[in-house]
Structure 1
């Protein structure tokens, strides 16, 4: 308990009036003295008595209880503080500060733990310190201690502390690290055309000899096998890259961890580039004019992104109509140029009711087969001629076609049905929902077809069936390419709106994108979508129930995510990431990646501990930075305004805060008594001067 005394005033008039009265009193007393009045001193005493009575002074005695001071401590437990021995250093610093503050008189410790945020904002230590300081009375804050690697990302949020600020810095002098950064990358790129990424690999810290030179950079796009590239360290590098498919392409870049480097968390980067096709180049080969030929042409021409080359046989060689060749206005089609020299420029070749007539030699068709095996795609819309001896199946294309004709053509009305495999296949999945059945018949609501070329599947997947579940649409992979065989030439009825029409445009779009190997239409695929740190896994398959997915977090921890069936052939699972970074997915032979935030979070942009970011702030608050590896400092009290850091010690300034327990006020004057005294003195002055 402390005791404090003070003189208080409770004036009867405003202070301005009192000061004016003081000035007038001094003037009148001075005038009396100048004129030689014998009672001037009595007049002065009278004025003083009157002014004291108006000021009404009192004597105040306070009983004070001293309050303890607060030392604030912010403990950085973000991701960069888990590198190496930093977590152990942090624990040791907490123990030392806690013990030292407890040994100081009337001093308490207030601390807050700083964790990683969801927005990849980095170490917000100053925000945490400002919030902690706002919770304490400013008059009781004696000092602040930050246990961190010094890599703070919100310096502008630093609070105005009335006491010293100190940094106990983790890390070691010999730390060094290698980092991969993406300097620039496009958000969009044209499929098949070269795009350039600018990246840099640099070393920082106490880099050992021999750590520079060339290093191996692994580059992977999506689920493709990564390939190695030798790149220099410490230089900006322009790396060309070509996207193989449309949609979102996840480009993975990774440098192997070097011996002795601090962490490999910043050795990888992920770039997401949306692949767009400049033009879809389609070659449509029509065997003869028929009702559906113009439908195919109109469908393809209606899409502005399609470049169509249409080859139609209007006058076959066997036609004998007596017209001289010199009078024909038909233009010779450049078949050699298209089918031999420029065939690889097409993304898709459609054979619409085409049959062998000698116009396309076998060597041309054999080149089409080679084109598919190299990665091309064909769609065969079979007409009645496909079941004859002139069928395309009786050509080199038989080696890549997934079904053979039985020579039977059935002409009967039927509605195409999606098979059990078709319900799983992304080309036909959900097509029936576009034309729901009006009745509870279980059949799709689209119109009927009236011709079916009977097929006997040899390989591939039957996704649509016709009369008595006979194969209608068969899909297959051949080498690097894709093949689709449609056993009817009546798809045009859907476009014409017969019996309500059907999704011919959507079916053709999906077929084209499937042949273009778009990731969204792959039968066997493992994909992931992220919303914040929550990830949804999607596994497509035409086979049995897939196994659980192994998810490897950025820190190397592995968790197993089970999958549940969401729809036929589609299984989903969910997990939440503990921190931003690159997560690797494995299910059987399928692999994938998903980036939560950047692959290397902000915490790992700079990993070498440094007091440089906080240097100005520490100096302004008379604090210091101490490396924990050099020894933990003592904590002692220093007077306010003095330097609060030295060799082996840091200081706090006692604030002397207190709480008033009791107040006693004793009036020093009785206003009425002093008023009578003033009147008496004034009367005495008058009598003294009047007697003269």
Structure 2
């Protein structure tokens, strides 16, 4: 019960002040003039003012509230290093016991785990959340059990009581880490790309470690190479990407005895390999309507360097025109087909026939070019079915179809074969998803009858005859298009068709663009989810094995999303490099960073939280020295010392009831004032 004197005036406060002031002036004037009886009149005036002020007894019935101490336990991954988890468990048990021994004090325990999306330890954010859930007037202190490595130290927390940090770890801790300081997102194939790496030692580094380290480099999980690099100094590492598309480069340091963790001993970089320029040689045997279709397609691609020759004057043409009057340049056959043929990524023979321009050894060199990794596309016209066909040359050993000598002259709609519905060159072409779909595009009117020798028939034409055949020869690729009427789609005849998309895919498949590989295994990552896609020409169920960073293997069954395309989603529980294997096909991908943010800096520190703790007069102590005692200290006093930390009692309470009773009733005031007045009159009269 709390009691005190309060006032409940009968008149407004302003009026009361005016009355009191007027009475004071009168009494001062009477005293100055020396009038008889003025002291007694002054006593009566004071009585009147006091009665109007109405003094009362104020009583409150209060229930005291307990003080609250917040214990923030850092359970992030960096706290799993060494014996930090045991330190935290022991310290928590001791703090809970000591708070329990303090009267009228409660403990609130909250935990901090790794932030989503690799945001690290959000210690101050968790403390702010805990503060918001408790009455501010009851907070007597907060204790942080952490290694001091937090990633939101810039968040201002206005804590109204002492804040303390109990640091885990040991003074002898040390660690070695690998950082990639500079790595591009894209790189040109066959050219060196420079990556900047830094190997750094932290903490109490042993003197016998040395100032160099081995580093192992592997691309897409392939054969590893080892190098020796200095410690503590950035080093530039040249890398040549082996293929187009995404390349995953992994750098790994060997484990060192005594270091805190090897989770930061590796780093992974994903670099997309792109070609500088695609060099294409287009050789047109003669001018025709479809020639411009090829030229426009290749010229419209900014990444293509096109060299185009049209044979306008064959050697057999003799019309008597003097040579010095001809404006046509000589066809540089030797330079193109013998000396510089390997400089081209793709050669297209558009309605070319044997005319004595290219000797047999030139054509044999082109066949060798294909077998060594080059690409040739044959766009066949009527001449392909004659005795002058280019098939009647050394190129026959790389051409996957032989002409029968028949030229089909009738209208037909090109269609996808069963294989074509699955092949990335023709899959979904023009909206078709299966070979049984009826094409809505226009007809072609000429086709060269072909007899497939090898490869895959992906499109058929008149009477189901092979129209487009794709093949791999040695290290290279060859395609035969058995018609020269693709230009009809360009002109929009009978509604046209997807000729630009078909020819673009065909050209890029031949130049080995990764997204058009018919047998491919890829993985894309979003958050912790990995979408695995297997593209294949074969039928039947598919499954893959997923190898996690810790070596654990998970078998995963894929579902057929479309013909030739199987997919599945895999939830990864670890960050790092994952390897996906399906027979001879394999892929690697990275889930999150190779070294999570929690392991970028692992040595316990007090520097980041020291300014925040000092602002509340709290303390920073090492758990390795023991769990400190907990005391009560007054507000504003230092709240930490050697072996102890303090909390500030808040003396919070809840008012259950309140009452206000006049000290003197109005009738009693009347009697008192009347008695004072009479007494003053009698005293004055007696004098």
TM-score scaled to structure 2, two decimals? 0.90
CA shift for structure 1 position 540: 0.9
Q: Residue 35 of structure 1 is aligned with which of 33, 36, 43?
A: 33
8 Å Cα contact 1:526-1:539 kept in structure 2 = yes
8 Å Cα contact 2:416-2:434 kept in structure 1 = no
**Which whole-Å CA distance do the structure 2 matches of 1:556 and 1:37 have between them?**
110
Question: 1:43 is paired with a residue of what secondary structure?
Answer: helix
Partner of 1:54: 52
Question: 1:351 is paired with a residue of what secondary structure?
Answer: strand
8 Å Cα contact 1:435-1:444 kept in structure 2 = no
Partner of 2:130: 132
CA shift for structure 1 position 432: 4.2
Of 573-582 and 513-522, deviating more is 573-582
Partner of 1:361: 359
- Answer yes or no: is 1:563 the counterpart of 2:561: no
**Which whole-Å CA distance do the structure 1 matches of 2:262 and 2:545 have between them?**
21
Question: 2:412 is paired with a residue of what secondary structure?
Answer: coil
Partner of 1:167: 165
Q: 1:465 to 1:663 in 2, by over 3 A?
A: same
8 Å Cα contact 1:418-1:465 kept in structure 2 = yes
Partner of 1:216: 215
Alpha-carbon RMSD: 3.2
- Answer yes or no: is 1:658 the counterpart of 2:653: yes
Q: Residue 259 of structure 1 is aligned with which of 244, 256, 260?
A: 256
CA shift for structure 1 position 680: 4.4
CA shift for structure 1 position 627: 2.9
Partner of 2:316: 318
Q: 1:435 to 1:418 in 2, by over 3 A?
A: closer
**Which whole-Å CA distance do the structure 2 matches of 1:464 and 1:630 have between them?**
78
Q: How does 1:24-173 map to 2 (within 5 A)?
A: 24-173=22-171
Q: 1:488 to 1:161 in 2, by over 3 A?
A: same
Q: Residue 604 of structure 2 is aligned with which of 592, 595, 609?
A: 609
Q: Residue 521 of structure 2 is aligned with which of 507, 526, 530?
A: 526
**Which whole-Å CA distance do the structure 2 matches of 1:86 and 1:476 have between them?**
61
CA shift for structure 1 position 167: 1.8
8 Å Cα contact 2:297-2:504 kept in structure 1 = no
CA shift for structure 1 position 573: 0.7
8 Å Cα contact 1:168-1:625 kept in structure 2 = yes
Q: How does 1:541-620 map to 2 (within 5 A)?
A: 541-545=536-540, 547-553=542-548, 558-578=553-573, 582-620=577-615
**Which whole-Å CA distance do the structure 2 matches of 1:418 and 1:402 have between them?**
18
**Which whole-Å CA distance do the structure 2 matches of 1:405 and 1:607 have between them?**
70
8 Å Cα contact 2:266-2:595 kept in structure 1 = yes
- How many residue pairs are counted as aligned between the two chains? 685
CA shift for structure 1 position 613: 0.6
CA shift for structure 1 position 579: 6.1
**Which whole-Å CA distance do the structure 2 matches of 1:305 and 1:254 have between them?**
32
Deviation digits for residues 208-251 of structure 1, max 9, x if unmatched?
3325314314152x67666555443322334444556665x344
**Which whole-Å CA distance do the structure 2 matches of 1:648 and 1:545 have between them?**
70
Q: 1:144 to 1:497 in 2, by over 3 A?
A: same
Deviation digits for residues 124-168 of structure 1, max 9, x if unmatched?
111111111121111211211112221122223242222211223
Deviation digits for residues 318-370 of structure 1, max 9, x if unmatched?
33434444443321122222223333332211111223333223333333334
CA shift for structure 1 position 608: 1.7
CA shift for structure 1 position 75: 1.9
CA shift for structure 1 position 464: 1.6
8 Å Cα contact 1:66-1:657 kept in structure 2 = yes
Deviation digits for residues 275-332 of structure 1, max 9, x if unmatched?
5555432110122333322332233334444322112222222334344444433211
Q: 1:476 to 1:98 in 2, by over 3 A?
A: farther
**Which whole-Å CA distance do the structure 1 matches of 2:370 and 2:386 have between them?**
24
Of 148-157 and 170-179, deviating more is 170-179
Question: 1:12 is paired with a residue of what secondary structure?
Answer: coil
**Which whole-Å CA distance do the structure 1 matches of 2:551 and 2:649 have between them?**
47
Q: 1:30 to 1:80 in 2, by over 3 A?
A: same
Partner of 1:497: 492
Deviation digits for residues 365-410 of structure 1, max 9, x if unmatched?
3333343344332211123443445443344433433334445544
CA shift for structure 1 position 74: 1.7
CA shift for structure 1 position 682: 4.4
8 Å Cα contact 2:74-2:146 kept in structure 1 = yes
**Which whole-Å CA distance do the structure 2 matches of 1:554 and 1:239 have between them?**
24
Q: 1:476 to 1:84 in 2, by over 3 A?
A: farther
CA shift for structure 1 position 566: 0.3
Q: 1:643 to 1:589 in 2, by over 3 A?
A: farther
CA shift for structure 1 position 580: 5.6
- Answer yes or no: is 1:506 the counterpart of 2:501: yes
8 Å Cα contact 2:142-2:162 kept in structure 1 = yes
**Which whole-Å CA distance do the structure 2 matches of 1:471 and 1:633 have between them?**
85
Q: Residue 376 of structure 2 is aligned with which of 368, 375, 378?
A: 378
Q: How does 1:97-496 map to 2 (within 5 A)?
A: 97-190=95-188, 194-208=192-206, 209-210=208-209, 212-220=211-219, 228-242=226-240, 249-260=246-257, 261-273=259-271, 277-433=275-431, 442-496=437-491
Of 310-319 and 586-595, deviating more is 586-595
Q: 1:516 to 1:679 in 2, by over 3 A?
A: farther
Q: 1:595 to 1:163 in 2, by over 3 A?
A: same
CA shift for structure 1 position 567: 0.5
8 Å Cα contact 2:263-2:595 kept in structure 1 = yes
**Which whole-Å CA distance do the structure 2 matches of 1:391 and 1:425 have between them?**
28
Unmatched tracts of structure 1, length 5 or more: none
Q: Residue 681 of structure 1 is aligned with which of 656, 676, 681?
A: 676
**Which whole-Å CA distance do the structure 2 matches of 1:581 and 1:541 have between them?**
27
Question: 1:392 is paired with a residue of what secondary structure?
Answer: coil
**Which whole-Å CA distance do the structure 1 matches of 2:611 and 2:406 have between them?**
89
Question: 1:669 is paired with a residue of what secondary structure?
Answer: coil
8 Å Cα contact 1:215-1:233 kept in structure 2 = no
**Which whole-Å CA distance do the structure 2 matches of 1:491 and 1:243 have between them?**
36
